[in-house]
Amino acid sequence: MEKLKRSVEKLMEIEVADSNKKFSPIFHTTHEGYAIIKEEVEEAEYEIEFINIFLNNLWSEVKGNNIAPAVKKAEFLKRKAINLSAEAIQIGAMCQKFIDSFEK
């Protein structure tokens, strides 16, 4: 898990650098920084909602011993997990940008 966390931290650094190229390298106010972080959290919550729905659907297929539909649900869950991971990386990156913007 520690190796994975280090990899995630590196991905956050890349995301901060990409954000700084596309947008201002700092947040101009704490309100702006909060709003951007909040937006990323809301996007992650959206992914979690779909994950919960399809996890329940997967369970229904598993209980019914419907293997092919269960595999399809698992494939969808995997894609949603990737999306959630990307959103989590963006949350961390925007938190770092917030720190960079206001740390004395």
Query: Residue 28: what pLDDT?
Result: 96
pLDDT tens per residue, range 70-88:
999 999 999 999 999 999 9
Whole-number Cα distances in Å, 68 to 35, 64, 72:
42, 11, 6
* Domain residue ranges in the chain: 34-104
Residue-by-residue pLDDT tens, the chain, 104 positions: 999 999 999 999 999 999 999 999 999 999 999 999 999 999 999 999 999 999 999 999 999 999 999 999 999 999 999 999 999 999 999 999 999 999 97
Query: Residue 104: what pLDDT?
Result: 76
Share the mean pLDDT of the chain: 96
Cβ neighbours of residue 38 closer than 8 Å, sequence gap 6 or more: none
Classified as helix, coil or strand, 26 is coil
Least Cα distance to 58 among 99, 38, 98, 66 occurs for: 66
How far is Cα 101 from Cα 104, in angstroms, rounded to an integer? Answer: 9
For residue 43 the two structure tokens come to 């996007």
